[in-house]
Amino acid sequence: MSESKKQNETLKQAVERVKNHMRVTKVVCTRSVKGRFGDHYVGFSAAWDTIQDDAGGGADLLTAQDGKDAAAVVASGMTIKDARLAALILGMQADLAAHDHACAGSNITPDQHSGAVAAIKNNYMKLAADLLAPKDESK
């Protein structure tokens, strides 16, 4: 095996090892809808088994819920695949809320709103189905 192939294989193994042990404890999604009278902005933040300090201060993980200690909470975080699914769920909700706000504020028409809502739901469901579909490792 050439030196380049050995390096590539070592890199692949390292990435896979880190990816398999990484846990995500928070997902953040923000959206804005631009319309004829300005922008409507929505931001959602969701935590997994933690209380987060969004204001900063150096300690993002403050305390654990249900009597768990901090180490147990970090260990119980989401896998990357679960975090990607959580991001799709939260992102869809942020998109829908931003369009709801834009319509309520008369920044987009009800027809534009209903068209956007249908497209958003369809697109996110397709992405979720693609994410959860079994992968063909032979390709």
Question: How far apart (Å, rounded) are the C-alpha atoms in residues 76 and 50?
Answer: 10
Model confidence, pTM: 0.71
The answer to whether residue 108 is domain-embedded is yes
Number of domains in the chain: 1
The answer to whether residue 59 is domain-embedded is no
The answer to whether residue 55 is domain-embedded is no
Residues 6+ apart with CB under 8 A from 107: 33, 35, 36, 37, 38, 40
The answer to whether residue 13 is domain-embedded is no
Residue 36 has a pLDDT of 85
Residue 73 has a pLDDT of 46
Question: How far apart (Å, rounded) are the C-alpha atoms in residues 51 and 65?
Answer: 7
Q: pLDDT by residue (tens digit) across 54-98?
A: 555 444 444 444 555 555 544 578 888 999 999 999 999 999 999
The parent domain of residue 115 ranges over 31-48+79-132
The answer to whether residue 37 is domain-embedded is yes
Residues 6+ apart with CB under 8 A from 139: none
Amino acid in position 47: A
The answer to whether residue 69 is domain-embedded is no
